[in-house]
Structure 1
């Protein structure tokens, strides 16, 4: 272990309220990415930065997603077997909101690469037009999280019932 890694363990944990404020992605085609993140997923464009970047959000925040072509216009996704972003994860406030995201994807004919019930959350997985992984999920109430006999968290991965999720939109 490096000296830097060893000394890092001497610090206290990051503050509990710390969260990821936004993700900024290099994309090949700005308009194609806006069509996905805004047109399909429903994030709102807050600002353009010329014809090379755009900033999108949920609920009018300055931005949750930055998209740019500064170093990537016309580029291709990184090849398999290289390091980089695995996926971004967008936390929806409720199961009904996640169901609405699924409805949007179905209406757009946009394919899922997976859908899982992790015990603590339910998640939809897909790739954006540039091959960046995207997770759309909601957290179940902590009182419903599966626990091991010793009280520790028991994460699981089961197939998510998509029809059951869509039933959240009825009534």
Structure 2
């Protein structure tokens, strides 16, 4: 079935996560990653953002207070992605994770972007990434997008913090 393409200005607005412990999640999203608390609903829900937006991430324990993480091999969220505006901002996020001793699941260069993969305290998958300028994206011989997955040089990424 052929359908018309979605409007090119469409974006994905926010993610709302079920969490087991709101304080633990706020410690991670605010304390480690640096998001700002924009609104809180008692001990059951909170909204965080970057740059004064109403919220990019909602956290709630309405149905999940003290609940276990989803079992491996079940359906659900694989990961959600947080787009950083620059390579230096991504490197700063990695430094925050290292300082907090939060392990990474992986790191990849996709040609169009550089990405870090990890899990939040409730085992939700996160991708932290920055996009290279569109004119630098890899293309095949016909001009189509030619993304790939290669190891990310973390030393090179972190070197932007010393250079800046």
The TM-score bracket by the shorter chain reads: over 0.9
Residue 129 of structure 1, aligned match among 106, 121, 138: 121
TM-score, length-normalised on structure 2?
Answer: 0.97
Deviating above 6 A after TM superposition, structure 1's stretches of 4 or more consecutive aligned residues are: none
RMSD: 0.9
Q: Which has the larger radius of gyration?
A: 1
Taking the TM superposition and a 5 Å limit, the aligned residue runs for 1:7-156 are 9-10=2-3, 12-156=4-148
Distance 1:23 1:39 in 2: 19
Distance 1:39 1:119 in 2: 31
- Are 1:167 and 2:159 an aligned pair? yes
Distance 1:47 1:41 in 2: 17
Distance 2:121 2:134 in 1: 34
Gaps of 5+ in 1: 1-5
Secondary structure of residue in 2 paired with 1:97:
helix
Distance 2:31 2:152 in 1: 25
Total equivalences in the alignment: 163
Shift of 1:150: 1.2
TM-score, length-normalised on structure 1?
Answer: 0.93
